[in-house]
Structure 1
Amino acid sequence: MRTPRTIALLRTTGAATAAALSIGLLAACGGGGGSGGDTRTITYWASNQGADLSVDRRVLAPEIARFEQQTGIKVKWEVVPWTDLLKRILGAATSGQGPDVLNIGNTWSASLQATGALREWDDAAFARIGGRDRFLPSALGSTGAQGKPPAAVPLYSLAYGLYYNKKRFAEAGIKKPPATWAELVEAGRKLTGGGRYGLAVEGANNAENAHHAFVFALQHGGGFFDSAGRPTLDSPQAVAGVKQYVDFMATHRIAAPGNAEYVQNETIRDVATGKAAMMLWQAGGRGLQERGMKPGDYGVAPVPVQSGAPGTGANVNSMVAGINIAVFRNTRNLDGAMKFVAFMTGDAEQKALNTAYGSLPPVRSVGADPAFNTPELAVLRRTLAESAAPLPQVPNESQFEELVGTAMKKLFADAAAGRPVTEESVRRRLTEAQQQMPK
């Protein structure tokens, strides 16, 4: 999900989040929402995919105008920041008053499905947008709980890569991007000094924190959920993974203390300006270009692993990231909503939108287009195909992101303030998160 950028997807505790989800199960079955019964109008909540909201407005405006011209259906739309999106969706689920169509982070699919707020996509619904087989299986794997019809359909596919400033690498005499975390720390130390740092992280971005925690825990041989989908947020592997990530600031000091307050796209700015040399990011090239870099100014490599090369098991180096598009159950213009989803997932729009955002099309026919075979996208495509793992599609996944992300935010704050981040302090924060997870 760009995937996902957020300060706090909810400003409540995990228990309150669970309560909101539970209420949504009831509220989503009644009440009105969406276009308010006007069959010539729909409402749409888009997610922030560009370097800032103005980029999204510039990208989406002509495409939505094209849909309006083709169908005669008016779209009332807004771009919702990741800092607010999940909170607003859960509020809509609780009240029954939501948009007709909305973007969601693909990792939230099962959590939002459990509220009953989203319409599920059975075979008849898929037939209205060209069929299920148009989409890549990896993208469909993050659209809802196993054994149930999807709660959304894929819109943009993403994966993490290691982005680096080539000029900074050349200045430090670094010939190639690091392939292991030990190599990244070594390179980071060479790149840190004089007010500049080796790595930029978004320490106050809960979703980013949780995504990296998930990957690091897998690389340590474990995860945040067991095989039955039960949360294990303070497992030894989770503790080891979170500590390794926070240690980029706390121990190795290759990330600036100020990164503890970074929440949305500051890493892109720092790499583009040379203040930082590296970042772990989803489809970051377009954002770097929007900040003034040319394609030749930055490189993209697979996210490092502990040892060896990216792959499966302990060598997973990305979550399966992406954005899905969903229809609110309480829509009063289902026909218009379905036509809009068909438009947004159609071949022409998939090429236009994913080109604009530097993401990968989840539609098979479009993904084969040479436009999506750039050096950057080739790395991301290979990652999705060979070394990415989906976050568990379980009802309390969104609470995991919020609670673990918040725990890591506090650990980064400790690191920035010079307070020690130890195995015990990491375990304590994760145990607090575990205790707040729904039973």
Structure 2
Amino acid sequence: MAVRRRYKSLAAAGIATAMTLTLASCSGGPGGSDDVTLKLVAADYGDNAANSSKHYWDGVVRAFEAKHPNIKVDVDVYSWEDVDKEVEKRVEAGNAPDMAQIGAYADYAAEGKLYSADDLLSISTQADFTPGLADAGEYHRVQYGLPFGASTRRLFYNKKLFAQAGIDNPPKTWSDIKQDAQLLKDAGVKTPFALPLGPEETQAETMIWMLSGGGGYTDSIGKYTIDSRQNVQTFKWVKDNLVTPGLTGGDPAKLNRQAGFDAFADGKVGMLNGHPTLMQQAKAKGVDYGTVALPGINGPAKSTMGVADWMMGFKQHGHRAEIGKFLDFVYDKDNVLKFSGDYGLLPVTVSASQGMLAEDKYKKLHSFLRQLPDAEFYPADKTSWPLVSKTVKAKMGGAVGSGGDPQQVLTDIENTANEADSATR
């Protein structure tokens, strides 16, 4: 769950930032008159050369350099499979990029390698971040991770298959899910409810179910609660009511998220939890679908899962002022809205969110966007989280499979999490 943010006096922060900028300019350091070339390593949100994120960054850089001729920006775009490893490689080689737009920031923050948001951004830019996303970017109550792309989760359902099974309304509760899945199975649907607990993104599906059952990975102060009573009850229910009766179409431990998305887009899945990019995939295949808030035990879940990717600024080359100028430009309302609209993501700023809600062309994203302020995020502020996520990927599929024991698996993961958390303090 999101760590509660420590709010500071914006006026005090503004004075401190202004003083720092002035001193840097007077000393001939960052902010001086010399030409500077910034290096940015960014993730690719496209799925082919035609819609690669490189095109987005080319446009942003061109517009920025026209306003700031003494600051050049070189952007290297890598696939999501490679981008985190590329940044890690550069950092370990002693040549960190000035900026990185990747999946996690906490390790670099813990090592003292990053500028804080206060170091880099104007007060107006900081204040424009959606609060829950700003919270999720904190390490030890200081924001180092700047949210870049975001999404939330909703339950997708195939309207045609629902109609063929005689289902008039989408599910609102777990009981509805079980009943509807059985009706879909009786109507010949091979996968009534796709449950992707394979190694690709098990940590996401796991968190979705935790939240819908009133639990989560951590409590409000950031302590792991993986084997809580709520979480154990949730996965016992999933095992007994969906997997064992054969309503998931196979072994969840062998189903990856993308395979589940592909099957839904092919019209072979009745229901699954998904994020906004599934809408584009389903539309391309002509699937008539709907989305609803995640069903909970007795009604819609109180919160949904949110996911954010992160921008960060590295200290190594000392280009603090120039990085700040570029990032203030990147987080301009129009730039944030264009990026989000181009790639089916949710804006990370209040101004761009309001802009998206005001435009009918983004109507299908509105229900996802309205959930964002109250969404819960991975505990990305914890340096132990990568190991915990890896452990969840390896074990959670087996917890609900034949012979699986949710209590034992969740306790094993909890023990691993607590040991890792203690070791990184």
- TM-score, L = length of structure 1: 0.74
Matched, 1:126 2:121: yes
Cα deviation per residue 1:175-204 (whole Å; 9 max; x = unaligned)? Answer: 111011121122122223646211223322
1:60 to 29, 53, 56: 53
Cα deviation per residue 1:298-347 (whole Å; 9 max; x = unaligned)? Answer: 11110111113333xxxx3x123222222233357556644543343222
Q: 1:242 and 1:430 mapped to 2: Cα distance?
A: 14
**Higher mean Cα deviation, 230-239 or 271-280?**
230-239
**SS of residue matched to 1:75:** strand
2:348 to 362, 383, 390: 362
**SS of residue matched to 1:383:** helix
Q: 2:95 and 2:395 mapped to 1: Cα distance?
A: 32
**SS of residue matched to 2:351:** helix
Which residue number in structure 1 is paired with residue 315 of structure 2?
329
Q: Return 5+ residue gaps in structure 1 as ranges.
A: 1-37
Matched, 1:204 2:198: yes
CA gap of 1:434–1:380, structure 2 versus 1, over 3 A, is: same
**SS of residue matched to 1:187:** helix
Which residue number in structure 1 is paired with residue 76 of structure 2?
77
Matched, 1:217 2:216: no
CA gap of 1:268–1:212, structure 2 versus 1, over 3 A, is: closer
Identical columns (%):
21
Which residue number in structure 2 is paired with residue 139 of structure 1?
133
Which residue number in structure 2 is paired with residue 378 of structure 1?
366
Q: 2:169 and 2:320 mapped to 1: Cα distance?
A: 52
Which residue number in structure 1 is paired with residue 41 of structure 2?
44
Matched, 1:351 2:345: no
Which residue number in structure 1 is paired with residue 243 of structure 2?
250
Cα deviation per residue 1:353-398 (whole Å; 9 max; x = unaligned)? Answer: 1112222212222211223785532322332245x23444433233
Cα deviation per residue 1:69-115 (whole Å; 9 max; x = unaligned)? Answer: 3317353422332x55555555555444443322234xx44454223
- Contact 2:264 2:282 (8 Å CA) reproduced: no
Q: 2:235 and 2:419 mapped to 1: Cα distance?
A: 18
**Higher mean Cα deviation, 218-227 or 169-178?**
218-227
CA gap of 1:359–1:245, structure 2 versus 1, over 3 A, is: farther
Q: 2:134 and 2:361 mapped to 1: Cα distance?
A: 21
1:278 to 271, 278, 284: 271
**SS of residue matched to 1:437:** helix
Matched residue count: 379
Which residue number in structure 2 is paired with residue 115 of structure 1?
111
**SS of residue matched to 2:120:** helix
- Contact 2:153 2:368 (8 Å CA) reproduced: yes
Which residue number in structure 2 is paired with residue 421 of structure 1?
404
- TM-score, L = length of structure 2: 0.76
Cα shift at 1:270? 1.1
Mark the structure with the bigger radius of gyration.
2
CA gap of 1:244–1:198, structure 2 versus 1, over 3 A, is: same
